Chains A and B, each alone.
Chain A
Amino acid sequence: MDRAFAIICLGITLIAVLALALLLASILIAGFPGLSWSFIERYASRIPEQAGIKAPLFGSIWVASICAIVALPVGVATAVYLEEFAAKNRFTNFLRINISNLAGVPSIVYGILGLTLFVRMFGLFGPIQNPAFEIGGETFAIYYDSTGEPLRVPVTSRNETPSLTTGSIGYIQDVLDGPDGELIFTNNWVPIPLTIVNVDTEFTPAYGVISAIDVVEPIDYEIQKPWYYVQFPFGQTVLAGGLTLMLVVLPVVIISSQEALRSVPRSLRAGSMAMGATRLQTVFRVTLPASIPMIMTGAILAMSRAIGEAAPILVLGVALFITDVPQSLMDAFTVLPMQIYNWTSRPQEEFRALAATGIIVLLVVLLAFNAIAVLIRQKFSRPLQ
C-alpha cells in the first residue's frame, strides 16, 4: 500500500516533467529549422520567408530595461520601508494586504491602467497624435519639391505654417550610393536654398525647386527625436510600455525583496545598532548588502516575467507591424511575446513555424537573464557569519 502510493506519486509528479519535455520538443521541432542569424536581423514582413524578429527583440530589451530602472528602486524602497521602518499598526497591515492584492491583479488589467495613465494620460494633454507638450525634439514641416524628394523646414510647433519665399533655407536628405548601386538614405540633412516657381511658368525639376501651390501648406510634420525627447501624453511608445510592465512586476519585486530582507538574521541588525549606527546606516551598510543576492534573484525573476508578458502591451494598442528598432524613449515598439502571439494567431502553417522560432529566441533571452541572475548571486553572495 505504502509502496504503491509512492510509485503513484512519482508517476503523477512525472506529468510535469512530461509536459515540459513535450513543450520544448514541440517548439524545437517546429521552430529550429527556421532559426538563423538572418531571422534575428530581419524586420517584420507579410511574407513568412522574409520575416524576422529584430524589432520585437530590441523592443523587448528596451521595455525590460525601462521596467527594471523604475521597478527596482521603487520596489526595494517599499520593501525596506515595510520591513525596516514601518510601525506595526493597521496602516502597515493595510499596505501589506494591498500589495498582495496587487500581485493577484491580472496583467491585462494593468494594461488598462497603463493605457489610461501613460498612453493617454487621462486625455489631459490632448490626443495622442497631437501631443500638447513636447520637450527636446526638433519639429519640421515636410514639403515635397519638384523632384518628389521630401524637404524639411524647421518650425517651432506642429501648428505653425512657415511662410516660404525664394531664398528660404530648406533641408534635403543626403543620399549615398551603395556598393551595389542602390541608394542609401542617411540621417544627414543638408541645407539648400529654395526656389519658389509659379505654376504657370515652365521649369525643370531640381532639388530645392518647389511649386507655389506646394508651399501653401506642409504635407506633414515630422519630429526628429533625440533619445531624451519627451511628449505628453506618451502615446504607444517604449516609455509607456516599460512603465506599464513596471506596474505589473512591482508587487513581485516588493514581495521578493521583503522576503530577502526578512532572511537577514536579526543579530546582524542588532550588532550594527549596538555599535552606534543609525537605522539608516544599518539598512544601507548591513541589511541591504547582506540581502542583495536574494533581492537580485527576485528582481531577475520579475524581469523575466516582464519580458514574457504580452497582455498588458497588447491593451496599449501598439502597432503590430514595426519595421524599425526604437531609437528614443518616444518611439513605437513591439515586444517578442506580442510578435509570437501575432504569428501564432494566423492560420498559415508558415507563420506557426515562425512563432516557434520566435519562442526559441524568447526562451534564449530568458535563459540569458537567468544566467545573469546566477552570476550576480555568486559574485555578491558572502557568508553572513
Chain B
Amino acid sequence: MPTASQQPENQTLAELCGRGRPRSVILRSFQEGTVRGLLVGCAMFSILVTTLIIGILAYETARFLQDVSVVDFLTGLEWNPLLGAERHFGIWPLIVGTLLVTLVAAVFALPIGLVTAIFLSEYAPPWLRAILKPILEVLAGIPTVVYGFFALIVITPALQGLGRLVTGENTFGAYSAGAAGIAVGIMILPIVTSLSEDAIRAVPKGLRDGAFALGSTKFDTSVKVVVPAALSGIMASYLLAITRAVGETMIVALAAGGLAQMTVLPWEQVQTMTAYMVQIFLGDAPATGVEYKSSFAVAGVLFLMTFLLTFAGYRILLRFREEYE
C-alpha cells in the first residue's frame, strides 16, 4: 500500500509522462501529419468556395447569354425584364442605380468617418473615447434589415419634409435613392471610422513629435502630417466601405424602390443590382425563365465589381503595412 503522501506525487508524474511528447517517432509524425492534413483541408475549403462561386456564376451567366446577346447585356441602357411586350436586358440602369446609392452613402459616410477617426485618435480624451467606441461598435453590429426599416420610417419622411421645405413641392417619393443611400452611409460609417482610426494610430509618434517640434499646431499636425501618413490605410478603409455599400441588399430592397432607371437624381427611385435579385428570388418567376437566369448574370457583374474593389483595397493595405513595420 502506497502511503497517502506518495500518491498525488506519483499521479502527477504519471500524468506528466502520459501527456508528454510521444516516444515513438512514427506515432509522432503520424499524429502531426494527420492534424496537419486536416488543417490544410480546412484551408483548402476557402479556395473551394471561391472556385464554386466563380464556377456557378460563370456557368449561369453563360446560360443567360444564350438567350440575350452579350452586347445587349453589357451596353443596353434599358432594364425591363418582367413587364411589357418587348423585354430589355441592358445592365446599365442597375449599375447606375447601385452607383447612385453608393455615391450618396460615400458622400455621407467617408468625410464624417474620417473626421470621427481623427477626433477619436488625436483629440478625444480617454473617457470620451471609452464612450464613443462602444457606440460605434453597436452601430456596426446592427443588422442591415434594421437600417432598412429606419430608412423607411425615419429618413424618408425627414427627406420628404426637407424637400417640401426647400422647393415647396413633393420632390422625394415614398422610395428614393437618397433615403437608401443615407441609411447605407450610416451602416458603413463604423467601418470607415474603425479602420481609419487603426491606420491613424499606426502612424509613429515620432512623426507627430517632429511636427510639434517644428512649431505646428495640433490641427496642422493632424491634417498635414498624420492624415497624409495614414492615407493608404484610410483609402483602404474607404474601398472596403464602398464594397460593402455596393453589395448591400436589404436596405436598398426596402427603401430605394423598384424601378430600374438611369438617373443621377437622389430623390428618384432606383433599382440596384442586389434589389433586382431580391425581386426575382422572392417573386415566383419560373426557374427556367430568362428573367430568373438574368439574376445570376447580375450577380456575376456584382461579384466582379466587389472583387475588383476588395482586391484594390487589399493591395493598398499591403503597401500601407510595409511602411511602418
Please give the residue numbers on chain A whose beta carbons come within 8 Å of chain B beta carbons, in ascending order: 1-2, 5-6, 8-10, 12-13, 15-17, 19-20, 22-23, 26-27, 30, 73-75, 77-78, 80-82, 85-86, 95, 97-113, 116-117, 247, 250-251, 254, 276-281, 301, 304-305, 307-311, 314-315, 317, 337, 340-341, 344-345, 352, 355-356, 359, 362-363, 366, 370
Instruction: Give the distance in Å from the alpha carbon of A250 to the alpha carbon of B307 in the complex.
Output: 17
* Stretch of B75-83, B147-155, B161-169, B224-232 with 4 or more beta carbons under 8 angstroms from chain A: B147-155
A12-B116, A23-B150, A279-B32 known; 11 new pairs, CB 8 Å cut-off, are: A12-B112, A23-B142, A23-B146, A75-B42, A101-B307, A104-B240, A104-B309, A106-B306, A109-B247, A112-B296, A341-B145
Tell me whether A280 and B53 are in contact in the complex, defined as CB-CB below 8 angstroms, given that A23-B142, A104-B240 are known contacts: no
Instruction: Give the distance in Å from the alpha carbon of A157 to the alpha carbon of B31 in the complex.
Output: 44
Binary interface profile of B, 153-190, with partner A (CB < 8 Å = 1, else 0)?
A: 11000000000000000000000000000000010011
Residues of B within 8 A of A359 (CB): 145-146, 149
**Are B139 and A16 in touch, CB under 8 angstroms?**
yes
**Are A106 and B46 in touch, CB under 8 angstroms?**
no
* Stretch of B63-71, B117-125, B199-207 with 4 or more beta carbons under 8 angstroms from chain A: B117-125
A-B CB contact pairs (8 Å), 28 listed:
A9-B116, A12-B112, A16-B189, A19-B139, A19-B186, A23-B142, A26-B154, A77-B39, A86-B43, A97-B311, A100-B310, A104-B243, A104-B244, A104-B306, A106-B247, A106-B303, A109-B302, A112-B57, A113-B56, A277-B21, A308-B141, A309-B143, A310-B250, A311-B249, A337-B145, A341-B250, A359-B145, A362-B143
- A353 closest partner in B (C-beta): B153
Min CB distance A96 to B, Å, is 9
Min CB distance B268 to A, Å, is 20
Tell me whether A117 and B112 are in contact in the complex, defined as CB-CB below 8 angstroms, given that A2-B217, A279-B32, A311-B274 are known contacts: no
Residue in contact with B310 in the complex, picked from A75, A103, A110, CB distance below 8 Å:
A103
* Stretch of B5-13, B99-107, B275-283 with 4 or more beta carbons under 8 angstroms from chain A: B275-283
**Are B149 and A9 in touch, CB under 8 angstroms?**
no
Residue in contact with B281 in the complex, picked from A1, A254, A317, CB distance below 8 Å:
A317
**Are A9 and B119 in touch, CB under 8 angstroms?**
yes
Name the interface residues of B84-131: CB closer than 8 Å to any CB of A: 112, 115-116, 118-120, 123-124
Q: B47 in the interface, Cβ–Cβ < 8 Å?
A: yes
Instruction: Give the distance in Å from the alpha carbon of A9 to the alpha carbon of B39 in the complex.
Output: 47
Tell me whether A366 and B141 are in contact in the complex, defined as CB-CB below 8 angstroms, given that A13-B115, A103-B310, A344-B152 are known contacts: yes
- B222 closest partner in A (C-beta): A5
Instruction: Give the distance in Å from the alpha carbon of A221 to the alpha carbon of B181 in the complex.
Output: 49
Q: B45 in the interface, Cβ–Cβ < 8 Å?
A: yes
Residue in contact with A352 in the complex, picked from B21, B153, B277, CB distance below 8 Å:
B153
Residues of B within 8 A of A80 (CB): 39
**Are A106 and B278 in touch, CB under 8 angstroms?**
no
Tell me whether A16 and B123 are in contact in the complex, defined as CB-CB below 8 angstroms, given that A113-B52, A341-B148 are known contacts: no
Tell me whether A280 and B43 are in contact in the complex, defined as CB-CB below 8 angstroms, given that A16-B189, A20-B138, A112-B296 are known contacts: no
Q: Which 5 pairs show the lowest CB-CB distances between chains A and B?
A: A106-B247, A308-B143, A104-B310, A77-B42, A9-B119
**Are A12 and B115 in touch, CB under 8 angstroms?**
yes
Instruction: Give the distance in Å from the alpha carbon of A315 to the alpha carbon of B243 in the complex.
Output: 20
Q: B132 in the interface, Cβ–Cβ < 8 Å?
A: yes
Residues of A within 8 A of B282 (CB): 314
Instruction: Give the distance in Å from the alpha carbon of A116 to the alpha carbon of B293 in the complex.
Output: 13
Q: B74 in the interface, Cβ–Cβ < 8 Å?
A: no
Name the interface residues of B221-257: CB closer than 8 Å to any CB of A: 222, 240, 243-244, 246-250, 253-254
Q: B49 in the interface, Cβ–Cβ < 8 Å?
A: yes
Residues of A within 8 A of B247 (CB): 104-109
Instruction: Give the distance in Å from the alpha carbon of A113 to the alpha carbon of B60 in the complex.
Output: 11
**Are A337 and B250 in touch, CB under 8 angstroms?**
yes
Q: B36 in the interface, Cβ–Cβ < 8 Å?
A: yes
Tell me whether A102 and B49 are in contact in the complex, defined as CB-CB below 8 angstroms, given that A12-B116, A310-B145 are known contacts: yes
Min CB distance B192 to A, Å, is 10
**Are B278 and A314 in touch, CB under 8 angstroms?**
yes
Residues of B within 8 A of A247 (CB): 49
Instruction: Give the distance in Å from the alpha carbon of A113 to the alpha carbon of B51 in the complex.
Output: 11
Q: B319 in the interface, Cβ–Cβ < 8 Å?
A: no
Tell me whether A99 and B139 are in contact in the complex, defined as CB-CB below 8 angstroms, given that A26-B153, A314-B282 are known contacts: no
**Are B46 and A99 in touch, CB under 8 angstroms?**
yes
Residues of B within 8 A of A254 (CB): 46
Residues of B within 8 A of A345 (CB): 253-254
Min CB distance B63 to A, Å, is 12
Residues of A within 8 A of B144 (CB): 308, 310-311
Instruction: Give the distance in Å from the alpha carbon of A78 to the alpha carbon of B186 in the complex.
Output: 33
**Are A102 and B50 in touch, CB under 8 angstroms?**
yes
Q: B265 in the interface, Cβ–Cβ < 8 Å?
A: no
**Are B153 and A95 in touch, CB under 8 angstroms?**
no
**Are A78 and B43 in touch, CB under 8 angstroms?**
yes
Min CB distance A234 to B, Å, is 16
**Are A109 and B250 in touch, CB under 8 angstroms?**
no
**Are B153 and A1 in touch, CB under 8 angstroms?**
no
